[in-house]
Chains A and B, each alone.
Chain A
Amino acid sequence: MSQPLASITQEVVLKAENLVKHYPIKAGVLRRTVGHVNAVDGVSFELYKGETLGIVGESGCGKSTLGRMLMRLEEPTAGKLTFDGVDVYSQKGADMRRLRRDIQIVFQDPYTSLNPRMTVGDIVGEPFDIHTDVVPKGGRRQRVQELLELVGLNPEHINRYPHQFSGGQRQRIGIARGVALNPKVIICDEPVSALDVSVQAQVVNLLKDLQDRLGLAYVFIAHDLSVVRHISDRVGVMYLGKIVEIGDEDQIYGRPTHPYTQALLSAVPMPDPTLRDVREQIVLTGDVPSPANPPSGCRFHTRCWMAQEICSVEEPLLVERPDGQSEHDSACHFAEPRVIVA
């Protein structure tokens, strides 16, 4: 965005502070804990009202675990999450249920996230069974039909089953369920990556449209950097459980300072053959290290072409570093802007 966040009110709805999730690794006859998978390892960010925060990273970087933690589908190992000033992880019972209305999720796979034995009306209306005061009992069917219409489905299809719909339409059903309780925040966990190219655009447009109409804030988790740029106001790049760089869309794509972000961007194939030999590609060697045994110091140093001795010893902090025009948060000792995407 050229006018940085001008259109967005700077009101924080969701604030994550140092979120940590470690999964125990059990082994042996006694199932003793022999180690931990550090899925999410100290993630902090703020989500403003009505904005979209994109989270990108390769598989295994902890982005989906982070999404589930924001929903409190996973209990954190450490850290604090505040929604509208309320500490999410200390809520119990009815208070927690009340809170869940405001944070909803859209899952990646529209084939397994909808119950095949329930009609579309039951799926979209199910949130009202739990939160009975949102819509009076008699008005439910009508509300479900409104929701179906809102996401671009035929309201007359309320009695159909998920298998009667295509992938894109099923994802619309998942979105209708997500907005049913008028949430303030929706976590979108790879919402378009299971869809075909031509259908993907329809769903991306729908998500943008709903955001404008309902004033939703999105945490948009995806591995497709093009889609994330398209939809996000700000973007965080994750590597092995940590955010290595975060900034607004222009800073991350236009002036990335972390080598990992640069490599990630340069690896994305561009749909333009004329860039074939012009574009410089940084091909990283090797795979992402195991999160059960992350490298010391900077976690990226094993694959980084800029790594020096300090990188394996001292972990760089995620702090503001100059990017040529302004400053944005980057966790690299040698942060330096580099133009990757023209």
Chain B
Amino acid sequence: MTLSAGTGGAPNVELLDTRGVWKSVDGLLLEVDQLQVEFRTRDGVAKAINGVSFDLHEGETLAVLGESGSGKSVTAQAIMGILDSPPAFITGGEVRYCGQDILKLSEDERRRVRGPEISMVFQDALSALNPVFSVGWQIAEMFRKHRGMNKSDAQAQAIRLMERVQIPGAAQRVKAYPHQFSGGMRQRIMIAMAIALDPAVLIADEPTTALDVTVQAQIMQLLADLQQERRMGLILITHDLGVVADVADRIAVMYAGRIVEQADAFELYAEPAHPYTKGLLDSIPRLDQKGETLSAIGGLPPSLTNIPAGCPFNPRCHYAQDICRIDPPPPLREVGRHRFAACHFSELLLTHSPELAVTQTTEEVEAHLELGLDYPVAAGGLDHDQDMERGGEPR
């Protein structure tokens, strides 16, 4: 495919023929179906994702919410096809993009999806960008590799994109290197690279976690504008309940490699249907309140090499009964209109039924967990990108 120089104003015209291969079915872009991923390490097999399913539609923002080690970043990497294998292996499930299972594609075909169709913004822009190439060169690489543009056309496109993501003085700074930009500007460059080929799906993995709140607000605003303008499906991966509340249409809450609740953003915050979601919402300090003691969730997320039997949340759950400890993990099931939860007692939780009395006090939960604390826990480490292997919430 050839492109004439100076396509600046109307990039979508040329995109039509590449888009031909991939057409969304009734606005449905991405279906993740019972995805399973495990890490085979020397210390044993860590089951990072245990049957994750969700859909993503055009123009929709799906937030994947979870703590470190919950498998949210691994899910994103599996969709992108950038998991390091070994140690990671996809052991089951499908990822269908426009109806076709992209896990079955060859690496060559996969490369044609990654970038033009599904693209990703990483958390730590400083380590995601290459320090020895100028940012303009790195953005332009997308056009050179995927569109076969020559250097000068590609650079013109790079400048246009840098302007689009509101980098001041784009034409002068196109030859600057990543370390010459501030954190917020670097994140804008990452976003420019991600949207360069006008993807239909954008995955943003903790895009603002390393940034200050005032800059975070700018970046979230930019992402929202771009999504609106391009009708992208956006998967926003984060641990921040505040960011999610501001932008998400739907929310999937992950715990120990499973989605434990999926619901419309408003409903989820108004009435959580899973004890973990409820616990999370109760445990965060609020800016608009001077609170008393926070009601913390006792204990820690489980180690993925040693996920507790039954419902993985049962050792930390105030409502846990025998069924939660003995029966296999409850599947994600419909518990209300368009809302799903993986808990035996969701209905009772939703109706605030007195039948669902707290069965364990915090002390009992702590005592119960005393055994569980003995292994080195999955949570830990400040390694931003490898959320999975070392866990760790960014600062």
**Contact at B213–A267, with CB atoms within 8 Å?**
yes
Stretch at the interface among B13-21, B72-80, B92-100, B234-242: B234-242
Knowing A264-B213, A270-B245, A276-B245, say if A253 contacts B287 (CB, 8 Å). Answer: yes
Knowing A196-B67, A223-B212, A287-B184, say if A190 contacts B395 (CB, 8 Å). Answer: yes
Residues of A within 8 Å of B, CB-based: how many? Answer: 60
**Contact at A202–B296, with CB atoms within 8 Å?**
yes
Residues of chain B from 315 to 335 with CB closer than 8 A to chain A in the complex: none
A164 within 8 A of B: yes
Complexed CA–CA distance, A59 and B183 (Å): 10
**Contact at A194–B395, with CB atoms within 8 Å?**
yes
Complexed CA–CA distance, A225 and B214 (Å): 12
* B residues near A231, Cβ cutoff 8 Å: 285
A255 within 8 A of B: no
* A residues near B270, Cβ cutoff 8 Å: 274
Most buried by A among B68, B245, B380, B391: B380
Contact with A along B360-395 (1 / 0, CB 8 A): 000000000010010011011110000000011111
Residues of chain A from 237 to 295 with CB closer than 8 A to chain B in the complex: 249-250, 253, 263-265, 267-276, 281, 283-285, 287-288
Nearest CB in chain A: distance from B16 CB, A: 34
Nearest CB in chain B: distance from A58 CB, A: 4
Complexed CA–CA distance, A169 and B266 (Å): 34
**Contact at A166–B294, with CB atoms within 8 Å?**
no
Knowing A163-B376, A193-B395, say if A230 contacts B290 (CB, 8 Å). Answer: yes
Most buried by B among A109, A268, A271: A271
* A residues near B310, Cβ cutoff 8 Å: none
* B residues near A225, Cβ cutoff 8 Å: 213, 287
A111 within 8 A of B: yes
**Contact at B269–A273, with CB atoms within 8 Å?**
yes
Nearest CB in chain A: distance from B267 CB, A: 9
Most buried by B among A250, A253, A267, A288: A267
Residues of chain B from 234 to 257 with CB closer than 8 A to chain A in the complex: 239-246, 248
B83 within 8 A of A: no
Choose among A1, A168, A271 the residue that contacts B245 (Cβ–Cβ < 8 A): A271
**Contact at A201–B284, with CB atoms within 8 Å?**
yes
Choose among A154, A197, A204 the residue that contacts B241 (Cβ–Cβ < 8 A): A197
B150 within 8 A of A: no
Residues of B within 8 Å of A, CB-based: how many? Answer: 61
**Contact at A287–B182, with CB atoms within 8 Å?**
yes
* A residues near B213, Cβ cutoff 8 Å: 58, 223, 225, 264, 267-268
Choose among A226, A264, A267 the residue that contacts B284 (Cβ–Cβ < 8 A): A226
Knowing A1-B290, A263-B214, say if A227 contacts B241 (CB, 8 Å). Answer: no
* A residues near B240, Cβ cutoff 8 Å: 269
Choose among B215, B239, B294, B394 the residue that contacts A201 (Cβ–Cβ < 8 A): B294
A67 within 8 A of B: no
Knowing A223-B212, A276-B245, say if A204 contacts B379 (CB, 8 Å). Answer: no
A229 within 8 A of B: yes
Residues of chain B from 12 to 68 with CB closer than 8 A to chain A in the complex: 67-68
* B residues near A276, Cβ cutoff 8 Å: 245-246
Nearest CB in chain B: distance from A338 CB, A: 15
Complexed CA–CA distance, A249 and B290 (Å): 8
Nearest CB in chain A: distance from B272 CB, A: 12
Choose among B183, B287, B382 the residue that contacts A268 (Cβ–Cβ < 8 A): B287
**Contact at B246–A269, with CB atoms within 8 Å?**
yes
* A residues near B214, Cβ cutoff 8 Å: 58, 263-264, 267, 283-284
Knowing A198-B279, A264-B213, say if A341 contacts B393 (CB, 8 Å). Answer: no
* A residues near B297, Cβ cutoff 8 Å: 198, 201
- Taking Cβ atoms with an 8 Å cutoff, the residues of A that contact B are 1, 58-59, 108-109, 111, 154, 163-170, 190, 193-202, 204-205, 208, 223, 225-227, 229-231, 249-250, 253, 263-265, 267-276, 281, 283-285, 287-288, 341-342
Q: List 6 A-B contacts (CB under 8 A).
A: A170-B380, A193-B395, A253-B290, A268-B287, A270-B288, A283-B217
- Taking Cβ atoms with an 8 Å cutoff, the residues of B that contact A are 67-68, 182-185, 212-218, 220-221, 239-246, 248, 265-266, 269-270, 279-281, 283-291, 293-298, 300-301, 370, 373, 376-377, 379-382, 391-395
Q: Which 8 pairs across A and B sit closest by C-beta, in order of nearness?
A: A269-B242, A201-B296, A230-B285, A58-B212, A201-B283, A166-B377, A201-B294, A198-B297
